[in-house]
Structure 1
């Protein structure tokens, strides 16, 4: 009897642990900050590895200045551990900013952490996938 109870308890514990594993995100949210103006806004995209124009994502938000989107930093705010995202400047070769759900969910957009320099994000795309 004790063995049956112990076996049932172990099975239940294992089943609970398996169901508690984090599920991959179906959508990811990114927040862009402009530390000079104090403005920030967020946009949510599906996890489908399709590049989306940052201007379209942030049009009519707090960081939109007459159709121009400026930001100093970006942060994933809703994501899973396996999230992999990129901000790519299609106008500048090799300007690719990577974000992920584990080690790098916050980035300084100009690459200089000592000062907040607003970057025009008009030529950027944003896309996410699961690893």
Structure 2
């Protein structure tokens, strides 16, 4: 009887310990397209809520025009979890926030005009993601 009680206590302690192990932070990949030039590039960040400057993430990539900066026409989450919530935030225009998520909106036309590709300067943007529960 004492062995059964000890075994039950050990199993309970083990399963409680498993629940306490933090889950790894998921990674999210953003791909930016420039439909005028035909270029695209992607960058991966952790979904921990930390904002990353687009100019840092895409420096030296195919969408980096050098001294003129990063230009894109659309963006797509290519690697994400279903519960991922992300934002592209324009630091120069505080009301310009573009929401992306893993369920309903993993693609966005950056200029809002889906009839033609209009390049947007993205150096003033940050990108961050979180895993929603």
TM-score, length of structure 2 as denominator length: 0.79
C-alpha displacement at 1:96, in angstroms? 0.2
Write out the 4+ residue segments of structure 1 that deviate beyond 6 Å after TM superposition. none
The answer as to 2:80 corresponding to 1:46 is: no
The answer on whether the counterparts of 2:31 and 2:77 sit within 8 Å (CA) in structure 1 is yes
- Mapping of 1:108-127 within 5 angstroms? 108-127=109-128
1:72 aligned partner: 73
Determine helix, strand or coil for the equivalent of 2:55. Answer: helix
C-alpha displacement at 1:27, in angstroms? 0.6
Structure 2 CA distance for partners of 1:118 and 1:47, relative to 1, 3 Å: same
Q: Which runs of 5+ in 2 are unaligned?
A: 1-22
How many residues are paired up?
A: 109
- RMSD, aligned CA: 1.4
C-alpha displacement at 1:24, in angstroms? 8.2
The answer on whether the counterparts of 2:32 and 2:74 sit within 8 Å (CA) in structure 1 is yes
1:95 aligned partner: 96
The answer on whether the counterparts of 1:24 and 1:82 sit within 8 Å (CA) in structure 2 is no
2:87 aligned partner: 86
For the pair shown, which has the larger CA radius of gyration, 1 or 2? 2
